[in-house]
Amino acid sequence: MKKRVLGIHPRVFWGCPTTAMWVYRLGAEKAKHMLFSGDLITGKRAEEMGLIFQSVPLENLDEAVNHLADRIKGVPKNQLMMMKMTVNQAYENMGLASTQTIATLFDGMARHSPEGIWFKQRAEEVGFKQAVAERDSGDPIPGSKK
């Protein structure tokens, strides 16, 4: 069976991930590694790292989702609401809102930097995959101050 890799990686698309959740889910060391390297990982590896709750083969996905939904739907709505609010409040106490605000500002700055503008124009000229390959080649990006 062919392994699939997680292809949604903020570094690939350029910018700064505005949710900043990797820090909270992975810790600073692993979050930096993933963001700085742009490594793509399998769903199983994402599960092992704690980035996702569960990885299942595509052919079992509907069954896994239905099983989880069946488990959740038996919990009284008021308890679900209170538990969700408690978890969200814990993240707020850890500074999630201010982290997301600064990440959103940095994302906009990165996308409008000379390198970000180059990447967008290059992707329009040669296609996204080629622009990513050129950006990740290790060669200086035209106009950058590496």
* pLDDT of 1: 53
Domain region containing 80: 10-112
* pLDDT of 110: 86
- Nearest Cα to Cα of residue 95 among 44, 35, 21, 16: 21
More confident residue, 124 or 39: 124
SS3 121: helix
- Nearest Cα to Cα of residue 23 among 50, 54, 55: 50
| CATH number assigned to the domain comprising residue 95 | 3.90.226.10
Q: How far is CA 94 from CA 20, 21, 50, in A?
A: 12, 12, 18
No. of helices (H) and no. of strands (E), the chain: 9, 0
Task: Write the pLDDT tens digit of every residue in 81-108.
Answer: 999 999 999 988 988 889 888 888 988 8
The number of domains in the chain is: 1
The pLDDT of 28-47, averaged and rounded, is 86
In a domain, 26, yes or no: yes
In a domain, 137, yes or no: no
In a domain, 122, yes or no: no
In a domain, 135, yes or no: no
pLDDT, the chain, mean: 85
* pLDDT of 56: 94
In a domain, 133, yes or no: no
Task: Write the pLDDT tens digit of every residue in 112-140.
Answer: 988 889 989 999 999 988 988 888 888 88
In a domain, 62, yes or no: yes
* pLDDT of 21: 81
In a domain, 29, yes or no: yes
pTM over 0.75: no
In a domain, 63, yes or no: yes
DSSP string, 4-72: PB----HHHH-S--SS-HHHHHH-HHHHHHHHHH----BHHHHHHHTSSS----GGGHHHHHHHHHHHH
